[in-house]
Structure 1
Amino acid sequence: MSVQAKDIMTQQVITASPDSTLKEIASLFTTHSVSAVPVCDSSGKVIGIVSERDLLRPFEKTIAQRRDWWISVLAEGNDLAPQSVTFIGRDQHRATLLMTSPVETVTEDTELAELAEIMSRKDIKRLPVLREGRLVGIVSRADLVRAIATSSPD
């Protein structure tokens, strides 16, 4: 009997909504000790995934420099109104802007070798597992390693 995604997946998947903020997603990561969350619409369909790497993107130097440039353009040498400064400085990053999409997914019957192949070829660390188009689990690289370590030779 071969190992399939359903045999090794985490079934209680922590997810974010498309409108989740950067802060809310970071809180999910720390509260649940995860490094990524699938983003699901109201019907439970996976529309993206946000990882720790995605959360750091808004803080990259080039983005900060671009934001500073826009603030100076908007100010045109004058001080911005306090409410404008507050709005510009506020975290406007939502899951839909941070997430990677489309997401590579698998089904419950995807075999271990194929899971490993997809992760290796696509350089990804986790695969949402779907049943009839809906999220039912997630397989991480750690799940694969655990399965390999505990499997009996064929």
Structure 2
Amino acid sequence: MKAKVSSYMTRQVISIPPEMGIREAFFKMKENSIRHLPIVDKTNKLIGIISDRELRRPNWVDEAHDISHVYYLDNAVLVSDVMITNIHVLHTYDTLKKAVNVLLEKHIGAAPVLDKNNDLVGMLSAIDLLRALQDSIGLETKKKEKK
């Protein structure tokens, strides 16, 4: 796979600020049918990422005394409180081979994509990599039926 990440990444990145509440972040994911949200600062620089996994089963769930409140998403808890700051990123010029290795080795489903200036320009997911595989082995894509 000599193709570059830029050829298969999702370019319409939906990002959020660190001050957003986790409830609002959850609904942003749901509304846009996505599972990962990059978090950017006021200068649009990547500072973290959150996935639906952090919202579905937070690390602190095992320590909670009252399990009834655990899955209540409250905007009092900010994205900055739960975001991952050790971000595994890809660059537009990386090969898909490198992208596959990063996602597999780090056990992640998607990675933010940065350009040569380290600006966030896309996201590359496992689904995007499956599309690349589909192209490389010559599978025809099925067109979605309109309802």
Q: Normalising by structure 1, report the TM-score.
A: 0.78
Please tell me whether the aligned partners of residues 2 and 97 of structure 2 are also in contact (alpha carbons under 8 angstroms).
Answer: no
Deviation, structure 1 residue 60: 5.7
Q: CA offsets, 1:74-102, max 9 Å, x none?
A: xxxxxxxxxxxxxxxx6421111111112
Give the helix-richer structure, 1 or 2.
Answer: 1
Which residue is equivalent to 1:45? 45
Q: Normalising by structure 2, report the TM-score.
A: 0.81
Matched, 1:28 2:18: no
Which residue is equivalent to 1:107? 91
Please tell me whether the aligned partners of residues 16 and 39 of structure 2 are also in contact (alpha carbons under 8 angstroms).
Answer: yes
Please tell me whether the aligned partners of residues 9 and 128 of structure 2 are also in contact (alpha carbons under 8 angstroms).
Answer: yes
Matched, 1:138 2:111: no
Q: CA offsets, 1:102-121, max 9 Å, x none?
A: 21111101001000001111
Deviation, structure 1 residue 134: 0.9
Q: What value does the CA root-mean-square deviation take over the aligned residues?
A: 2.3
The change in CA–CA distance for 1:59 and 1:100 in structure 2 (over 3 A counts) is closer
Q: State the secondary structure of the residue aligned to 2:65.
A: helix
- Identity among equivalent positions (%) equals 28
State how many pairs are aligned: 132
Aligned equivalents of 2:98 and 2:84: distance in 1?
Answer: 21
Aligned equivalents of 1:67 and 1:104: distance in 2?
Answer: 32
Which amino acid in 2 is paired with 1:139? L
Moved more, 53-62 or 127-136: 53-62
Q: State the secondary structure of the residue aligned to 2:30.
A: helix
Deviation, structure 1 residue 152: 5.1
Which residue is equivalent to 2:5? 5
Please tell me whether the aligned partners of residues 58 and 64 of structure 1 are also in contact (alpha carbons under 8 angstroms).
Answer: no
Which residue of the other structure, out of 102, 121, 128, is the alignment partner of 2:112? 128
Q: State the secondary structure of the residue aligned to 1:101.
A: coil
Please list every run of 5 or more consecutive structure 2 residues that lacks an aligned counterpart in the other structure.
69-73, 139-147
Q: Which has the larger radius of gyration?
A: 1
Please list every run of 5 or more consecutive structure 1 residues that lacks an aligned counterpart in the other structure.
69-89
Aligned equivalents of 2:16 and 2:134: distance in 1?
Answer: 31
Which residue is equivalent to 1:80? none
Deviation, structure 1 residue 56: 2.4
Q: State the secondary structure of the residue aligned to 2:112.
A: strand
